[in-house]
């Protein structure tokens, strides 16, 4: 078997299926990997899992080299671990945790159901009960890359196949693609939450240069969701593509999305598809948050770390191009 043979139809099909489901992955978020005989294929930074079957979005890395970076010998970007010197794609910023997880197949999603539980102290307690009997572990929030990799290593054992990342998402691992997919289905079934009624976008014309975000109206019309949307950001990709929290219209006209209290949410007409999908994700998360659950933002320091990080600036650049 050559290292190209690892990219099986089953692996690419599952990756694409997850990438097309906005309740699993939004825009270039999430990543998948498959490894064998010292080689790991992983989604490239800024690429979209939805394109797994139609475009070259995966990059092969030397597994030992990636694990060496995970252990602190390097900055964790794993560019030096890329096998093909002509390859222009960068490995995912989360390559190091894929490398240290011993399972052949590792699937990382930004599952909406998982995020709802993972941003809330009450939700994390509920998730522990719902996932009882499954080989899972919780991991506290850390910045993606080496900090998150180190926290994962400290939080799991050799049997762990499901990792709930606080204020971030889900990892499912398996010996095969089918095993990993079955674990994802089990988690989604157990963590499913009802969504509150969706409110139609306002009928009036939006201000010039903007449009009403049809799926996000309730963030502005429900007082609780409005306060939550204003309180901060709850997971990394929101910060990267939308900035911290959501401003009100009139506060920051240059922001991609803005709240109009009691009426709706505006999104700039020049916003990227990725930014639109991140706004939809926020609405999907907050509209599923039970009324007796609190939500904890990642905090201003963590937001600043993400916005000033070169690895995330690279993803933002790719999103603007695409």
In the chain, list all ranges with CATH 3.40.225.10: 3-191
User: What are 189-238's pLDDT values in tens digits?
Assistant: 999 999 987 778 888 999 999 999 999 999 999 999 999 999 999 999 99
Q: Is 286 helix (H, G, I), strand (E, B) or coil?
A: helix
pLDDT band at 2 (very low <50, low <70, confident <90, very high): low
Q: How far apart are CA 19 and CA 279, in angstroms?
A: 16
pLDDT of residue 310: 64
User: What are 9-38's pLDDT values in tens digits?
Assistant: 999 999 999 999 999 999 999 999 999 999
Does the structure show a pLDDT above 90 at 4? no
Average pLDDT for residues 150-171, to the nearest whole number? Answer: 98
pLDDT of residue 73: 80
pLDDT band at 1 (very low <50, low <70, confident <90, very high): very low
* CATH tag, 3-191: 3.40.225.10
pLDDT of residue 250: 87
Q: Is 62 helix (H, G, I), strand (E, B) or coil?
A: strand
pTM here is 0.94
Question: What phi-psi label fits residue 140: left (phi over 0), alpha (psi between -120 and 50 degrees) or beta?
Answer: beta
Average pLDDT for residues 119-127, to the nearest whole number? Answer: 98
The dihedrals phi and psi of 129, each to the nearest 5 degrees, come to -70, -45
- In this prediction, what percent of the chain has a pLDDT beyond 90? 84
CA 222 and chain centroid, separation:
25
- Residue-averaged pLDDT of the chain: 93
Q: How far apart are CA 157 and CA 86, in angstroms?
A: 37
Average pLDDT for residues 96-118, to the nearest whole number? Answer: 98
State the maximum Cα–Cα separation within the chain, in Å, rounded to a whole number: 60
């Amino acid at each position: 078997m050559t290292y190209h043979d690892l990219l099986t139809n089953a692996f690419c099909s599952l990756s694409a299926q997850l990438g097309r489901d906005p309740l699993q992955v939004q825009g270039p978020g999430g990543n998948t990997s498959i490894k064998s005989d010292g080689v790991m294929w992983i989604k490239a930074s800024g690429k979209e899992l939805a394109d797994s079957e139609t475009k070259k979005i995966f990059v092969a890395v030397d597994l030992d080299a990636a694990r060496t970076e995970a252990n602190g010998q390097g900055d964790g970007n794993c560019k030096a671990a890329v096998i093909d010197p002509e390859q222009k794609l960068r490995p995912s910023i989360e390559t190091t945790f894929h490398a240290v997880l011993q399972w052949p197949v590792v699937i990382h999603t930004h599952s909406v159901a998982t995020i709802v539980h993972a941003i809330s102290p009450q939700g994390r307690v509920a998730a522990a009960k719902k996932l009882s009997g499954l080989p899972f572990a919780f991991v506290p929030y850390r910045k993606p890359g080496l900090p998150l990799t180190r926290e994962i290593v400290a939080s799991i054992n050799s049997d762990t196949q499901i990792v709930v990342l606080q204020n971030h998402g889900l990892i499912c691992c398996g010996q095969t693609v089918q095993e990993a997919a079955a674990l994802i289905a089990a988690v989604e079934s157990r963590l499913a939450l009802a969504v509150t009624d969706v409110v139609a976008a306002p009928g009036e014309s939006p201000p010039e240069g903007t449009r009403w975000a049809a799926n996000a109206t309730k963030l502005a019309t429900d007082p609780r969701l409005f306060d939550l949307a204003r309180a901060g950001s709850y997971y990394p990709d929101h910060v990267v593509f939308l900035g911290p929290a959501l401003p009100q219209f009139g506060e920051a006209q240059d922001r991609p999305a803005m709240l109009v209290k009691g009426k709706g949410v505006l999104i700039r007409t020049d916003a990227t598809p990725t930014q639109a999908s991140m706004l939809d994700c926020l609405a999907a998360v907050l509209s599923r948050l039970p009324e007796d659950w609190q939500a904890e933002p990642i905090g201003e320091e963590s937001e600043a770390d993400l916005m000033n990080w070169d690895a995330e600036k690279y993803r933002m650049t790719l999103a603007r191009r695409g």
